[in-house]
Structure 1
Amino acid sequence: MLTADLARSRTDGDTVTPLFVDPDDDRYQQTAAELIEIFTGHLGEPKGELEATIDELTIADTDYKIVQGLAKLLQDECEFEVVAPVDPQDIRRRLFEKANDSYPVVRQPTLGDDTQPLDIYSNVADRLGISLEECYKGMYADLDENKRLVRFGNQAIEGHDGEETTTTTQLTGDSAESYADDTITVEWLLTRYNLALAQAVLYDATEMRIRVWDSFSTVFSYVKLFGLMHRIYPIDNAGNRVESTDVADGYEAVLDGAASLFSKSRKYGIRMANFLPALPLCTRWEMEAEILDETTGTTDHRRTLALDHTDGLSSHYSAQSEFDSDVERTLADKWERANTEWDLIREDDVLDFGAEVMLPDFAIEHPDGRRVILEIVGFWTPEYLSEKLTKIREADAANLVVAVSERLDCSADDFEGMDDRVLWFKSGIHVYDLVELAEEYALPTNT
């Protein structure tokens, strides 16, 4: 994503609008193409040289924020590594020890009148079994500006396996359109940039309301993946709330934000920004967000950001996330190794509470047809939890069990009336503890 200083938006009254670029504009296409060429041409080169070349392009272009913003997104798709035949710390230690008696080690050895510094480099290089050049370049190879660009998109230098990656795209999954022909394209970069501009506005979001009419499980999977507290309501084709899922065409979700949770912290707003790319996975969607604006001199003034499927945004996220959290992934892995007749299944159905719905995390099913629903509580405020539990009690979901982390600031009192269906866990959920709950509370699927 973009850093806050690279955001571009305008305000008009109480609304805020990202300053999107036109992906078909020749000027932006040329800039994007030049940047992609720069990154491709610097594969294997030091990070400092790459950044210097980008700065030269920035000087020649009046749209500083656009150039730097596009470059930031490309850098998110890069991996930089220390490339040296020997650990740079070991090279430095040996050089300093060798030079400690009387000579400082200069940064640039020469063949001038005084050849002692060069002799020190040569001596250490011979002892390490490397060349003089490798010794010199490797001495500070672990400085950030000297790290080498080893991967850009799906292009990598020879010998780089690419198994370990920390890029934004790889963390969240990439769609089939992300890398056409194994390369980052101009179109990909410009559409990704517009999405990033919208994300940057959300850094100060306090609440988000979304409405979707398709791809429900995918969208709400990302809601949970990014730890967003949510309330979900069935809606009709016009976006109005309806009484039950029986007459619903879609769903509305209210995602609570930073103002009530972290007191001006951007932590929750950034989670909303990370969630935003999930919405363009839908054919039809709408989003409204309240944005905290402190430029007015007050701490409670908010503006509105509104986006929908007509804004031309596209997503680089996968269409379906298998697990919403590490806790879920670990539980599924444990279940595969466990000796039990019960099956752990990803839950796609909704619990209909009438005017509100809930999407549980798993179903646990027995071959004889009995079934229990599992909800994992991982992120909440007391008000959020109280409201959710109230809905659960009203729905009388007798086969619903809840797993709650002991790290959360809550107790059995918060689950009054259903505390016997709560499984407390520390670092992970134990399979056989869940099986015991399933044996007790599972109901036949035909009831």
Structure 2
Amino acid sequence: MLTTNLARSRTTDQEIRPLFIDPTDGRYRETARELIQLFETHLNEPKGDLEDAIDELTVADTDYKIVQGLAKLLKDECEFEVVASVDPHEIRQRLFEKANTRYPIVRQPTLGEDTQKLEVYSAVADELGISLEECYRGMYADLEDNKRLVRIGTRTVDQYTTDGVSSTSTTALTGSSDADYEHTDLTVDWLLTRYNLALAQAVLYDATEMRIRVWDHFGTVFSYVKLFGLMHRIYPIDAEGERVASTDQAAGYEAVLDGPASLFSKSQKYGIRMANFLPALPLCNRWEMAAEVLADETTGETRVFTLDHTENLDSHYSTGDQFDSDVERTLAQKWERSNTEWELVREDDIFDLGAEVMIPDFAIEHPDGRRAILEIVGFWTPEYLESKLTKIRQVEADNFVLAVSERLDCASEEFGRTADRVLWFKTGIHVYDVVDLAETVTVPSETPSGSK
């Protein structure tokens, strides 16, 4: 994603809009083409050299933010590695120890003139079984500017291997992971459309609330809502976007998502979650979004930011199954290593609660047909907890079980008829505790009561 200093938007009295670019504009296409070529020609080159080349291109272009923004998105698709025959720390330690009784080793020895320095480097190189050049270059290979570009998009350096090598991936720094992406070759069209999406994401860093409406791909969208830990309320809607009484009348769903400024204290990490969710919407054929964005933190004044499918934004996210929170991901990983016949599967049932709906986290299924439905309650704001409790008390399915964090300020009796089906956990959920609970409540596999 873009950093805030590279965001481009226009604010009026009523709304805020990203300053999208036209992907068909020849100027931008040429800039994108030059940047992609620049990155590709710097494969296996030091990161510092790449940064210098980007700066040179930026100076020659009047659209500073656009060039730097496009470059930032390309760096998000890169991996930079320490490339050295021997651990640089080991090289430095041996050089310093050997030179300690003679003189300090400097960064750029004059090998042709200073025979003592040459002797030290040569001796260490011989001890480590590497060449003199490898010893010299490897001494500071772990400095950020000296790390090598080993991957850009799907292109990699031929000799690149991941075993035992330290890497820096800017994708990881933005809170995303490789599993979330549909990998593709980097093209001019990809980069320019990705840039427009990133501009929209940047506006959401200060969102206080987001309302979305989707008319298809419900499971995928709500999976990403949970994946990024967004507190939400979901309502059935008709084809015009109006709320309806039940899921039987629903043509789509509306979700109200709480933003970072609505929490007790504003969190940039939570803001990144909001922005990270946005690319899930273009996975739908028809969608709408309206967000309240904080314009003045002192006065609390906000602006409206709206988007829909007519903006022709493209997503780089996958439509495949996604884990949600860290607690859920860890539970799924534990389940894979466990020795039980019960299977943990992603749940796509929708509990019809009248004016609202609820999408549970998992189903727990046994080969003999028994089935339980698991919801994990791990959010902690009082408002969200009360909303969650209200929904849970309306669920009528007898095979519905809960895993609830002990850090929440609530008691079993607050879960209504599900009170005797609550599994409390501290830091993580234990597989066999869930299995034991499922054994007591499971029913033959069928669509659970109150769901669609």
User: Which band: TM-score by shorter chain?
Assistant: over 0.9
- Give secondary structure in 2 for the equivalent of 1:293: strand
Separation of aligned partners in 2, 1:327 and 1:220: 17
Partner letter of residue 141 of structure 1?
A
Match of 1:124 in 2: 124
Report whether the alignment pairs 1:71 with 2:56.
Answer: no
Which has the higher mean CA deviation after the structures are superposed, 282-291 or 85-94? 85-94
The alignment status of 1:274 with 2:239, answered yes or no, reads no
Q: Which moved more, 1:397-406 or 1:69-78?
A: 397-406
CA contact (8 A) 1:206 1:269 kept: no
Where in structure 2 are the equivalents of 1:30-429 lying within 5 Å? 30-111=30-111, 113-161=113-161, 166=169, 167=171, 170-175=177-182, 178-179=183-184, 183-294=185-296, 298-336=298-336, 338=338, 340-366=340-366, 369-406=369-406, 408-412=407-411, 415-417=414-416, 418-429=418-429
Give the distance between the partners of 1:114 and 1:165, measured in 2 at CA: 36
Is 1:14 the counterpart of 2:14 in the alignment?
yes
Query: Is the CA contact 2:80–2:147 (under 8 Å) kept in the aligned structure 1?
Result: yes
Paired residue secondary structure (1:58): helix
Any idea what the Cα deviations from partners look like across 1:361-416, whole Å, max 9, x if unmatched?
Answer: 1122345554322101222412211122122223434332111233x333425735
Change (3 A) 1:19 1:442: same
Quote the offset at 1:120 in angstroms.
Answer: 2.0
Supply the distance in 1 between the matched residues of 2:132 and 2:338 (Cα, whole angstroms): 57
Q: Are 2:209 and 2:262, in contact at CA under 8 Å, matched by a contact in 1?
A: no
Q: Is the Cα contact below 8 Å between 1:244 and 1:353 reproduced in 2? A: yes
Relative distance call for 1:359 and 1:122 in structure 2 (3 A) is same
- Closer, same or farther: CA 242–162 of 1 in aligned 2, 3 Å: farther
Cα distance in 2 for partners of 1:285, 1:260 equals 24
Contact 1:43–1:151 under 8 Å retained in 2: yes
Give the conservation status (yes or no) of the 8 Å contact 2:358–2:391: no
Deviation (angstroms), 1:193: 0.5
Structure 2 regions of 5+ residues with no counterpart? none
Question: In the alignment, is the contact (CA less than 8 A) between 1:398 and 1:441 conserved in 2?
Answer: yes
| Contact 2:285 2:309 (8 Å CA) reproduced | yes
3-state SS of the aligned residue for 2:266? coil
CA distance in 1, matches of 2:284, 2:230: 19
Aligned residues: 439
Q: 1:74 offset after TM fit, Å?
A: 0.4
Contact kept? 2:81, 2:168, Cα under 8 Å: no
1:365 to 1:122, Cα distance in 2 relative to 1, 3 A:
closer
Post-superposition offset of 1:303:
0.8
Secondary structure at 1:264 match in 2: coil
Deviations 1:136-158 (A, max 9, x none): 11111100000001111111111
* Greater mean deviation of Cα atoms: 24-33 or 430-439: 430-439
Q: Match of 1:398, SS?
A: coil
1:26 paired to 2:26: yes
Identity %, equivalent residues: 70
Once residues 337 and 113 of structure 2 are traced to their aligned partners in structure 1, the CA distance between those partners, rounded to angstroms, is 71
Which stretch of the first structure deviates more once superposed, 234-243 or 336-345?
336-345
Shift, 1:185, TM fit: 0.5
CA contact (8 A) 1:209 1:255 kept: yes
In structure 2, relative to structure 1, the CA distance for the partners of 1:184 and 1:113 (3 Å cut) is: closer
CA-atom RMSD, angstroms?
2.2
1:171-217 CA distances to partner (integer Å, 9 max, x unpaired)? 34323xx51xxx31010101101000000111111111100000000
One-letter amino acid of the counterpart of residue 53, structure 1: A
C-alpha separation between the residues in 2 aligned to 1:114 and 1:395?
A: 81
In structure 2, the CA distance between the partners of 1:344 and 1:138, relative to structure 1 (3 Å rule), is closer
Q: Is the 8 A contact 1:156 1:162 kept in 2?
A: no
Structure 1 counterpart SS, 2:298: coil
C-alpha distance after superposition, 1:29-86 (max 9, x if no partner): 0000000001100000000000000000000001000000000000011111111111
Shift of 1:343: 3.8
Structure 1 residue 327, shift from structure 2 partner: 3.2
Greater shift, 209-218 or 414-423, is seen at 414-423
CA distance in 2, matches of 1:106, 1:395: 71
Q: 1:278 to 1:335 in 2, by over 3 A?
A: same
Q: Is the 1:277–1:316 Cα contact (8 Å) retained in structure 2? A: yes
Amino acid at match of 1:43: L
Conserved 8 A contact 1:288-1:306: yes
Quote the Cα distance in structure 2 between the aligned partners of 1:327 and 1:10. 39
